[in-house]
Structure 1
Amino acid sequence: MASGDQAIEHFQIHGWMRVPGAFDRAEASAMRDVVWHGLADVGVQRDAPATWTIERPEKLQQLKAHAAFNAVGSARLLAAIDAILETQAYQKPKRWGAIFVAFPTMDEWRVPASGWHVDANYTSQLSPPKGVQTHALFGDIAPRSGASQILSGSHRLIRKWFEDHPPPAGARSADMRKSLQRHPYVRDLHTEGDRGSRIDRFMNRVEEVDGIPLQVVENTGAARDVILLHPLTLHVAAPNNGVAPRFLLSGAVTTDMHGWAR
């Protein structure tokens, strides 16, 4: 892979990486056409922003089976997933995820203090991971325009926390989430505060904790990029303060249900 955020080493250190141009712009456009057609059925019109009144429309998931979305699973993307999972076998998904559209909102853009989550067992394997999450961008996503926020480095923080604070046998996900929120950095991330101060601390600075560089970053990019996330990487939805809808297909590849098959 290439250098920077496109490298496997970047994934291992930060818990995410970018696969640029995993599919092409024409394929991304075809995916948007499918979604706009579905939105038209509920009165949301592509060329009439006055109809964009629901920030996050629902009832789109029946569209994910459309053949247009198969383009996400390109040879380029599969090669990156193979490299991350090393020699582990996995089954290529029949569907590349759920559709998430976020229309522009007047809500103030911020680093959320709630909603941060992982989609894996908190004690899932660190390296190689037992899966990878796929965030396929089928529309351009600019900063502060609805991109998911990622706590870069959090996969390593979570692994270390539960090595140092093993959950009791039979602990539920909610119990482990509460345990993790005792970590000072994670506790602060979940504490409401001045919007500007939170942006400055969590997004504009890198804090090193136990040798792990932590920083909140936005899942921005071009239509056709796919962001790969370690299943232990904390992430959250954020407001869209841009001028266009945010289009995202969120899915996963897993070898053991991200640690739940135990």
Structure 2
Amino acid sequence: MTVPKQEDFLNKGVLKLNNVIDVEKVADVQAHFWQEVDRKFGIQLDEPSTWFSNANNPVGDARAKRLNGMGSIMRELKASGKLDDVERAIQSVIDQVFVANAWRPLDLWYSLLSFPGSEAVWNVPHKSWHSDEPCVVGDAEPWSVFVFVFLDTVTVDMGPTTVISGSHRRAERLAKTLGTSNNEALINAFESVNSGLFENPNDVILLPMDQVLDPLVQEDPWFQALVKEGSPDQRIQRFLEEGNTLHGIEQKAIPLTGAAGDIIVMDPRCLHTFSANVSNLPRQVLRLDFRRQL
């Protein structure tokens, strides 16, 4: 890996790395994952009739259906050691892209498994754009990074998480003018990822996650259009293909797609949301979060 990859991540907030995990190891994790999903929910990957067979199965809106109660399955997979080889492979590549030993995984894995919804055509989503971590004035790096792990091929029509590249830098810029101090409660809520990164929480000036989107919409017609409905052809061209540049920061909507064994590293300060799964297949993605070290 090379320094430009790190620079690319700092600029865009999204970095795709291909073939990080051996496909046989991914297939082994996938098999155990679905074994547990079948045991707990009675849902089988190759039996679509089981996907929505009872009230305990996927819930969601018209865009995609997701499984609640996956935490216990992911904890059991972690405890079993089935994810150890995958985790080591990710750690190795993270150490190569970034400064070695600068990031360490948290204990909890997440399932982002989702099933087809009722929409027929994929579109750039206009709802539920959000970020998952505040922006701290004077700190160009996030407290954590999200690593998306593909258990199988995920294409755009399968409803991938969609990210606005560069939006973390827009949020950093907003933090300098709109950020506030004395956010100890918010800082404590993120203690698992920010512990030790600053001496006094009261000295930290930050912009909370829920105060990013509205200012961007107010100052930027591109974001104004992003949160409004529109035809798929127009929105795909404007947000995925053309993008936008303001204050020297390039932005595009990027669907997180990939093949089994690929990973995508994302800055959680980037605006992102889920999109419509209009395929006839589940989206099979796991997520592991890494905490920044001192």
Amino acid at match of 2:87: G
User: Which of 128-137 and 208-217 deviates more?
Assistant: 128-137
- Contact 2:13-2:168 at 8 Å conserved across structures: yes
Query: What is the DSSP-based 3-state SS (H/G/I as helix, E as strand, rest coil) of the residue aligned with 1:193?
Result: coil
> Cα–Cα, structure 1 residues 172 and 161, in superposed 2: closer, same or farther, change >3 Å?
closer
Structure 2 spans left out of the alignment, 5+ residues: 53-57, 59-64, 184-206
Amino acid at match of 2:6: I
Amino acid at match of 2:274: A
Q: Which residue of 1 aligns with 2:118?
A: 106
CA shift for structure 1 position 206:
2.4
Q: Structure 2 matches for 1:172-183, cutoff 5 A?
A: 173-183=209-219
Q: Which residue of 1 aligns with 2:196?
A: none
Match of residue 129, structure 2, among 116, 130, 136: 116
CA shift for structure 1 position 249:
1.1
Query: What is the DSSP-based 3-state SS (H/G/I as helix, E as strand, rest coil) of the residue aligned with 2:269?
Result: coil
Match of residue 63, structure 1, among 66, 69, 73: 73
CA shift for structure 1 position 126:
5.0
Map Cα deviations across residues 208-259 of structure 1 (whole Å, 9 max, x no partner). 1121111101111111111001232221111112232111112311238xxx
Mapped partners of 2:28, 2:10: distance in 1: 33
- Contact 1:81-1:132 at 8 Å conserved across structures: no
Count of equivalent residues: 251
Asked if 1:221 corresponds to 2:268, the answer is no
Q: Structure 2 matches for 1:40-189, cutoff 5 A?
A: 40-41=38-39, 42-53=41-52, 54=58, 55-65=65-75, 66=77, 67-75=81-89, 77-82=90-95, 86=99, 89-95=102-108, 97-107=109-119, 108-123=121-136, 127-163=140-176, 165-169=177-181, 170=183, 173-184=209-220, 185-189=222-226
> Cα–Cα, structure 1 residues 145 and 124, in superposed 2: closer, same or farther, change >3 Å?
farther
Mapped partners of 2:138, 2:166: distance in 1: 15
Q: Which residue of 2 aligns with 1:241?
A: 278
CA shift for structure 1 position 121:
0.9
User: Which of 66-75 and 132-141 deviates more?
Assistant: 66-75
Mapped partners of 2:234, 2:277: distance in 1: 20
CA shift for structure 1 position 180:
4.2
Amino acid at match of 1:39: V
Calculate the aligned-residue CA RMSD, in Å: 2.6
Mapped partners of 1:20, 1:7: distance in 2: 13
TM-score by length of 1: 0.83
CA shift for structure 1 position 117:
1.6
Match of residue 23, structure 1, among 18, 21, 24: 21
Q: Which residue of 2 aligns with 1:205?
A: 242
- Contact 2:131-2:210 at 8 Å conserved across structures: no
CA shift for structure 1 position 7:
2.2
TM-score by length of 2: 0.75
Query: What is the DSSP-based 3-state SS (H/G/I as helix, E as strand, rest coil) of the residue aligned with 2:36?
Result: helix
Amino acid at match of 1:71: D
Mapped partners of 1:121, 1:254: distance in 2: 14
User: Which of 174-183 and 224-233 deviates more?
Assistant: 174-183
Residue identity over aligned pairs, in percent, reads 23
- Contact 1:88-1:255 at 8 Å conserved across structures: no
Mapped partners of 2:37, 2:268: distance in 1: 30
CA shift for structure 1 position 176:
4.7
CA shift for structure 1 position 59:
1.7
Higher Rg: 2
